[in-house]
Structure 1
Amino acid sequence: MARNQSSLLLISLLLLLSSSSVSLATPVTAIAGFTNARHSKQACTDEAPAIAMFAGVNSKLYGNGDICWIKFSITCIGGVAGQSSPCRTSDPVDVTVTDSCSPESDNKPCPTFVLSEKAFALIANPQAGFATISYDR
């Protein structure tokens, strides 16, 4: 009987620790926009991406290109700069990095992620233009 209680106590403690470690994880938040430039050359390839769920990232995240072809899970969590939430769902979408966003080319700052129009439309209303997201690999 004492052995069963010890086992039960150990299992309960392990479950408590595993659930608390998950809840202590802080999601990475960022801003995402979108592009409909599906047929243009991308930084990670000389061709347009063959996938519909792609993303460009800002130069800080892009670095020297080691992030090319890495998949991220993106979740819409709210609006940007006081706008109402454009989120359509709290379900994440998976995107693959195929490009970088260069502020020099557009003369405006890049959001952390520039999602394909299809990926953005799955999580947020495109009319908003931008959304606050959380992301992880």
Structure 2
Amino acid sequence: MALKMNAVLVMGLAILSFVSVASATAGTATFYTVYVPSACYGYQDQGTMIAAASDSIWNNGAACGKMYRITCTSGTNSVPQPCKGGSVTVKIVDRCPSPGCQATIDLSQEAFSVIANPDAGKVNIDYVQV
């Protein structure tokens, strides 16, 4: 009976992981290094697993405090295999305004370094709100 329950649990988790991947949105990520002040929290320190949202996510500030799981999918330039594998979860603390914003999500340098080689500067990503 326990073996059957474990099999059902594993199957459920496998299905859930496919749903999560299927609902991810493709975009790009860059990184920044000056974290305060931020559009959402002013001079309050929010740590280093943070990001700035482009206008497509910003939603007039409604993105503040939302958490996103970011996964590097490929490079955008000549750095070979910039992705490190895995994902990073970040909190939106700032706005990356257009026309200057060069990515969907501008990660802190520390968060970018978790998923990709910083020498790449910009990578393709999948992201999902968690």
Q: TM-score range, shorter-chain basis?
A: 0.7 to 0.9
Q: Distance in 1 between matches of 2:49 and 2:34?
A: 12
Identify if the C-alpha distance between structure 1 residues 82 and 26 changes in structure 2 by more than 3 Å, giving closer, same or farther. Answer: farther
Instruction: Figure out how many residues of one structure are paired with residues of the other and give that number.
Output: 120
Q: Matches of 2:120 and 2:50 in 1, distance apart?
A: 19
The aligned amino acid for 1:93 is V
How far apart, CA to CA, are the structure 2 residues paired with 1:86 and 1:21?
24
Measured against aligned partners, the alpha-carbon deviations of 1:14-72 in whole angstroms (never above 9, x if no partner) come to x69x839936824311100000113x211111115331100001112101111100011
Compute the TM-score of the two structures, normalised by the length of structure 2: 0.78
CA gap of 1:87–1:58, structure 2 versus 1, over 3 A, is same
1:97 aligns with 2:100: no
TM-score (norm 1): 0.74
What residue is the counterpart of 1:4 in the other structure?
none
2:53 is matched with which residue? 57
Which residue matches 2:108? 116
- Unpaired runs of at least 5, structure 2: none
Counterpart of 1:126 in structure 2 is 118
**Partner secondary structure for residue 132 of structure 1:** strand
C-alpha RMSD of the superposition: 2.6
Residues 26 and 36 (structure 1), Cα distance of their counterparts in 2 relative to 1, 3 Å cut: same
Query: Residues 65 and 20 of structure 1: is their aligned pair in 2 closer, same or farther, counting only changes over 3 Å?
Result: closer
Larger Rg: 1
The letter of the residue matching 1:70 is K
State the percentage of identical aligned residues. 29
Question: Alignment partner of 1:64: what SS?
Answer: helix
Equivalents in 1 of 2:56, 2:81: separation in Å? 26
Q: Corresponding residue for 2:30?
A: 33
Change (3 A) 1:48 1:130: farther
User: 1:78 corresponds to which residue?
Assistant: 74
Once residues 66 and 29 of structure 1 are traced to their aligned partners in structure 2, the CA distance between those partners, rounded to angstroms, is: 20
| Aligned-partner SS, 1:127 | helix
Structure 1 counterpart of 2:74, one-letter code: G
